[in-house]
Structure 1
C-alpha cells in the first residue's frame, strides 16, 4: 500500500491520550480515524473528527482501518494484538510487548503468517538524551567502556493507588513498566549480555507488584551495565553515567517530551519540539587528540513522531522498521531471566548472548 495510513486506537487512558493520539496526529500521512473507549467519548473533545466505538471488534471489522494501536494494560496486550492481526491489521502495541517471551513468539509468528507489520512502542529510543548518548558512543568519545549505570528513579514512598500497574498479574510492576525501556536501550547500544543478575523487590508497604530493581548486565568484554529504579530517591541521581578508557559522560534529568505531552502539548504545534534547556545538558570529561576536554554536550532534540513516521513509511514500503518485534521480545526474555535470577539469588547466563548490538 502507499499513501495515508488510517489508524484505529484501542484505549484512551493515560498512554492513549497522552503518548499516542497527540503524536499520531502530528505525523503527516497518519489519520487517526477511530478510537475505542468503553465507557466514554473523551477523545472527541480533542479530535472531533474521530469516530468513537465501545468495542474493539467494531474497529477490527472496519476495512478502512489500516493500523491498530493497542494502548490497553500490558496484561491484555496478547489478546488485543492477536485479534487485530487475525483481522488483517498492522499493529503497534504499547510497551511492554507481552508478559512472557512465549506470548511474544506467538504474536511474531502470527504477524509473519498474516503478512502484517507488528511493532512495539519503545519511544525511549527517541529520547534526546539517548540519541545523544548513542552518538557519543558512535564517535568513541569515551573510549572502551568499563562500566555504566542507567537509572529511572522517583520519590513515591507511600503506595497510594491500586491501578493495574500496581497489581499482581504477570506483566505489572516497575520492572515491566520502566525497566523494559532501559533493557531495550541496553540491547540497542550493546547487544545481549553474557549474563544477568537481578534483584527485583517490593519495598513499599502493601505493595503487590515489584517497585524496585537493581539489574546487572555483564558482557564478555568486561563491560558491566547496571540498571536501577527506586521509589525512595528524593535527591536525583544521574539518569545516565558511563565510564570508559578515555573519559566519562554523566547526564541528569528526563527527556522533556513526556512532560510536554502530559501538559497537553501537540508536538506538531510546538516550535523546537524535544529541545532540552542548556541546564539539563550532560557533562562530558574526556580526551580528544591528546587534549583534555571537559564541558557540556548539547542534547539532540528527541522526537516521538519519528517512531510513528517510521512505522508509516515501513507500511508503505519506504523504510526498514526501526523497532522490530523480535527486538522487543529479547527485552521480555531478559526480564524473565532477571526475575528468575532474583528468585534464585545468583547470576544467570543469557542464552542469546551472541546477539549483536541493534544499532
Structure 2
C-alpha cells in the first residue's frame, strides 16, 4: 500500500513534471485508436519513472459491484478519434505551486469514509454488502462549500455533476458544482468483425449443437487463456442474419493465423473468427500493470481485447503522465478523456 501522504505524492509528481518539461519540447503525442504500428514479440514493457520510483502500487480488492450513473448506465468514454492529433485541450500544465484551475464531469458523492469525491461513475455494492455507494473508475477528493451544497441537495449517494475548481495537493477545491443533465448515450455501435465469414457463412447459434455448446465454449476459453503469450482474450460477436441469430467467438493471434485456426478448431468446432493481432493477452496485461505501477490510484487502466489495446483514463494528463504513456507506443493504447481538464481563467 502507498504510505506516502498525498502532499508528498503531489510534490514528487510536480518535481518530475518540472524536470521533464525542462528537457523536452511541448508534448503533442498521437494516440489514435486505429494507428498502425509494429509489434516486437517478447518485448519487455519497462517504464522508467524517474522521480516517481518511490511511489508504490496500491493493492485493489475485488468485490461484486453494479456500475451506475444517474440513469443506471455507464457513460460511453470519450477518446481521441482516428486521425486526430493528441487533443491539446486535454493537457494540464505542470503545477506552479499555486494549484491548477480545472473542470470536470462525473458523479459527485460522499464516500463511506466521509470524504466528498468526484468519480468517473458511481458503484454500489450488492445489498448483502451493505449497498454502499463508492467511486468507480478513477476519482479525486473535492472540498468546499459548493461540494457540500451539491450533496445537501442531491443526497449522500450524490449525482451527476459538472465542476470547476482548483486542483492542489491531490484535492479539487470547488468553485462551482452544477447538476449535469447531459442525456445518457445510446448503445455504442457493435465492433467490426476483424475477419470475413467462411465461404458457406456463419452457422446458426454457436455453430454447434445447443447441448454441446456450454462445454465447448468453456474448453475454448480455457485453452486460449492457457496460451495468453500468443493469443488474445476471447470475445463474442453476435450478428442478426435475416432474423437468425449467429454467435461468433473472436480470437487474435500474434503468430500464424491459418495455423492457429486449425489448432483451435480441434478444441472448438463452432463459429470462430481468427485474426492477426498486434498484442497478445499477456502483452496487454503487462502494459496495464506497468501503467498502474506508475500511477497508483491516479488512472483507471484495463485491457481491451476488442480493440487489442490498453484503455487508460487518467485523473489528469499532465507532462509526467504524457511522458510515461508515450513510452508504450500509440498502437498499444486508447487514451480516454481524463477526469480533470484545464479550465479557462
TM-score range, shorter chain: under 0.3
Q: Please, what TM-score do these two structures have when normalized by structure 2? A: 0.23
Structure showing greater relative contact order (alpha-carbon pairs closer than 8 Å, 6 or more residues apart) = 2
Which structure's residues are more often strand, by fraction? 2
User: Who wins on radius of gyration, i.e. which is larger?
Assistant: 2
